[in-house]
Amino acid sequence: MPITIQELIDETIPDNTVLILGAGASVPSHGPSVSDLIRHIGDEFRIDPFGLTLSEISGLAERKRNRHDLIAGIRSKFNGLRAKGALLNIPLYGWKSIYTTNYDELLEDAYGRAGRPLKVFSSNFDFTVQTDPTAAKLFKIHGTINNDLVDGHVSRIILTDLDYDATQDYSEALYERLKSDICPGTQVLIIGQSLADQDLRDVIKSAISINQKTMQGGRITLLLYERDDNRAQLFESRGLRVAFGGLDDFVNALAKKIPDHIAVRKDTDNPLDIVTSLRPVTLDVNEEVDPNRANSSAIFNGWPANYADVVRGFTFDRTVAGDISKFLKDEARICAVLLGASGVGKTTAARQALLKLRGQGFLTWEHKSDHPLSSKNWLSVAQRLKAGAQRGVLFIDEAQAQLYELNDLIDLLVADGCGSLKVLLVSARNHWGPRVKTPNIYAHGKEFHLSQLNTQELDRLLTLVESMPELSVLVETGFGGFSRPEKRRRLVDRCEADMFVCLKNIFASEKFDDIILREYATLSPENQDVYRFVAAMEHSGIRVHRQLIMRILGIQADMVAAFLSNLVDIISEYDVNARKKDIWEGPTLRDRWDHR
């Protein structure tokens, strides 16, 4: 039976823990996965990657050209990588030793930024070098990205089957070292992405073999981001324990257990380097703006644009983003609330606003919405900003899920007079409206609403899809064949300037329907019933009205107002006969399914 993250944390003592990191540790810092490397080599060397492992396609690429070109191609995927989030907190704890299957140098970056000594082992020659006894030990199972034979180094990046054969001595040295690390009371914690990762499975088998041969009774635990109950049962039958979660979850929970006084970092201008427990649950916008990591498929698939997409120019300016940034520049303002229905571009607009504020000297962060918010820690950040005459802004998406801590944070900021930290909240109106909120949100803030595209935004959207090659190739053929005035007319008349419907008409992607499904999934069963029946009847051509829905679903008259409040921006009513308003009012679904 898998254990919980909290159970894992309760028994973790860093000094007696051996960390083994797989691909899952590098993914949040944009490190390439094995599949990414295989695709890149296939494209670079014109080799069909289907069915090939990394070692196989690397061997073919080296034979087709040479090792120098292979290494250069691999290194291009690691250019500019910097440690982010939870990885930055790894140096704060005195791990017994660290092993990694990754080629990247993210851990080296994290230790360097923390000012902590680190000795890296990437070949058997490194075992003969005298080292600082206080330095953390990092063993790179497959070598390191900047050391290879092509550079004159004795170590190599282990890619091909020949590399594996040539580094047998190094593998045996690692095996002996790991054997000495596993002793009574030691915990081996293997953090990876998936049990389907062959490299990770090989490491697990080695750890099991060592533990069985030494008979030392060391505990081996797997922490996996991708849940796989079937494979987990197989490993549990061999004496391993399995927990599901990511590195962020683990380090965030560990920070709450370990006293703050041991988590000391160099003093910098970034408050998160002092309030380190926020690192695993916070995106630092400064580390997310590399335009080389932009992906034009986000808008095509109905997902919000990330910061790199905005910087790269894959989005069009939303008017509300400028309004929010202007509002939050006022010293007296503490928060802004952006409300709207699903699919209108709230998250993208909020990220645009953050980038505008970043350009005006603000420190900018985004809370990871799948983690709880800490009002105490963010108050510490606000106080540090105030003391350093700095300004910062925190963006919280799906803010209704964090409302208890948000109310506390806003009240604390007001009471402490910390206007140096601004808070930008985003939520759907139907989730935001019914909940209890502190009056300080409105006494020191303002609501902004996002719905239909205005005239300027429609023009910007058309200009974007016509001028950006990465987007223009995705435009649906039928729409792309119209003249500019006809395109604009269709977006205004047929799509009613609704962001979701406009994008669906431009790109004709069925993925946009996922927005509706995600919106539907957030509703209570009672509200889902109303949503379903109104959608089905409108799609069938039935003219829906209040009395019809009340009779079908058995809704009492005094409950109608509550339903409309919980479905605001999704279902709205219009007057059929103003003189008989109490009898005839027609509910209508935000008409999205029929605009195909």
| Torsion (CA) 540, 541, 545, 546 in degrees, nearest 10 | 10
If asked whether residues 202 and 344 sit together in one domain, one would say no
pLDDT for position 54: 92
3-state secondary structure 408-448: HHHHHHHHHCCCCEEEEEEECHHHHCCCCCCCHHHHCEEEE
pLDDT, tens digit, 9 for 90 and up, residues 86-113: 999 999 999 999 999 899 999 999 999 9
pLDDT for position 194: 67
pLDDT for position 61: 95
pLDDT, tens digit, 9 for 90 and up, residues 198-257: 666 777 777 777 766 655 556 889 898 888 888 888 888 877 888 998 888 899 888 877
> Amino acid identity, residue 515?
I
Q: Are the CB atoms for 381 and 275 separated by under 8 Å?
A: yes
Q: Are the CB atoms for 188 and 18 separated by under 8 Å?
A: yes
If asked whether residues 100 and 184 sit together in one domain, one would say yes
pLDDT, tens digit, 9 for 90 and up, residues 254-310: 887 765 444 444 556 788 888 888 999 999 999 899 888 888 776 666 678 999 999
CA distance 337 to 357: 16
CB proximity list for 420: less than 8 A, separation 6 or greater: 382, 385, 386, 390, 391, 392
> Amino acid identity, residue 137?
K
pLDDT for position 290: 86
Task: With cut-offs at 50, 70 and 90, classify the pLDDT of residue 163.
Answer: very high
H/E element holding 192? Answer: strand 187-192
pLDDT, tens digit, 9 for 90 and up, residues 567-587: 887 777 766 665 555 444 455
CA 537 vs. chain centroid, Å, equals: 38
Q: Are the CB atoms for 155 and 147 separated by under 8 Å?
A: yes
If asked whether residues 492 and 505 sit together in one domain, one would say yes
H/E element holding 209? Answer: helix 198-214
pLDDT for position 150: 92
Lowest mean pLDDT among 238-247, 306-315, 446-455, 503-512: 503-512
Question: How many percent of the chain have pLDDT more than 90?
Answer: 39
CA distance 158 to 163: 5
pLDDT, tens digit, 9 for 90 and up, residues 49-76: 999 999 999 999 999 999 999 999 999 9
If asked whether residues 347 and 205 sit together in one domain, one would say no
Average pLDDT of the chain is 84
pLDDT, tens digit, 9 for 90 and up, residues 484-502: 888 887 777 655 656 656 7
CATH of the domain at 374: 3.40.50.300
Residue where one domain finishes, among candidates 450, 477, 503 = 450
Q: Are the CB atoms for 259 and 32 separated by under 8 Å?
A: no
CATH of the domain at 257: 3.40.50.1220
CB proximity list for 521: less than 8 A, separation 6 or greater: none
**Owner of token pair 């948000």:** 406
Identify the burial level of 571 via C-beta atoms within 10 angstroms of its C-beta, where 0-12 means exposed, 13-18 middle and 19 or more buried.
Answer: buried
**Owner of token pair 């952006």:** 338
Higher pLDDT, 538 or 99: 99
The top-scoring range by mean pLDDT among 339-348, 399-408, 569-578 is 399-408
Closest-CA residue to 354 (of 412, 403, 300, 422): 422
CA distance 226 to 311: 30
If asked whether residues 316 and 395 sit together in one domain, one would say yes
pLDDT for position 262: 45
Q: Are the CB atoms for 189 and 160 separated by under 8 Å?
A: no
Please state, as a whole number, how many other Cβ atoms lie within 10 Å of the Cβ of residue 545: 18
State the pairing for strand pair 187-192/17-21: parallel
450-459 burial, b if ≥16 CB within 10 A, otherwise e? bbbbeeebbe
In a domain, 67, yes or no: no
Lowest mean pLDDT among 90-99, 128-137, 155-164, 440-449: 128-137
pLDDT for position 584: 41
If asked whether residues 292 and 355 sit together in one domain, one would say yes
Identify the burial level of 579 via C-beta atoms within 10 angstroms of its C-beta, where 0-12 means exposed, 13-18 middle and 19 or more buried.
Answer: exposed
In a domain, 596, yes or no: no
The answer to pTM > 0.75 is yes
pLDDT, tens digit, 9 for 90 and up, residues 6-27: 889 988 889 899 999 988 888 8
CA distance 480 to 473: 10
If asked whether residues 291 and 164 sit together in one domain, one would say no
3-state secondary structure of 17: strand
pLDDT for position 186: 84
Q: Are the CB atoms for 118 and 133 separated by under 8 Å?
A: no
3-state secondary structure of 297: helix
If asked whether residues 124 and 251 sit together in one domain, one would say yes
pLDDT for position 193: 67
pLDDT at 457 over 60: yes
If asked whether residues 243 and 353 sit together in one domain, one would say no
- The whole domain housing 158 covers 5-31+78-262
pLDDT for position 276: 86
Residue where one domain finishes, among candidates 262, 286, 310 = 262
If asked whether residues 394 and 431 sit together in one domain, one would say yes
Higher pLDDT, 92 or 418: 92
pLDDT, tens digit, 9 for 90 and up, residues 111-134: 999 889 999 999 888 877 666 778
In a domain, 441, yes or no: yes
Structural domains of the chain, count: 4
If asked whether residues 220 and 304 sit together in one domain, one would say no
Average pLDDT over residues 448-464: 87
Task: With cut-offs at 50, 70 and 90, classify the pLDDT of residue 338.
Answer: very high
pLDDT for position 537: 82
CA distance 463 to 398: 30
In a domain, 90, yes or no: yes
Residue where one domain finishes, among candidates 411, 432, 450 = 450
Closest-CA residue to 461 (of 414, 517, 503): 503
CA distance 211 to 179: 8
Question: How many percent of the chain have pLDDT more than 70?
Answer: 86
In a domain, 66, yes or no: no
Average pLDDT over residues 418-446: 92
Task: With cut-offs at 50, 70 and 90, classify the pLDDT of residue 591.
Answer: very low
pLDDT for position 213: 67
pLDDT for position 326: 96
Q: Is the dihedral of CA 204, 209, 210, 215 positive or negative?
A: positive
In a domain, 352, yes or no: yes
If asked whether residues 443 and 299 sit together in one domain, one would say yes
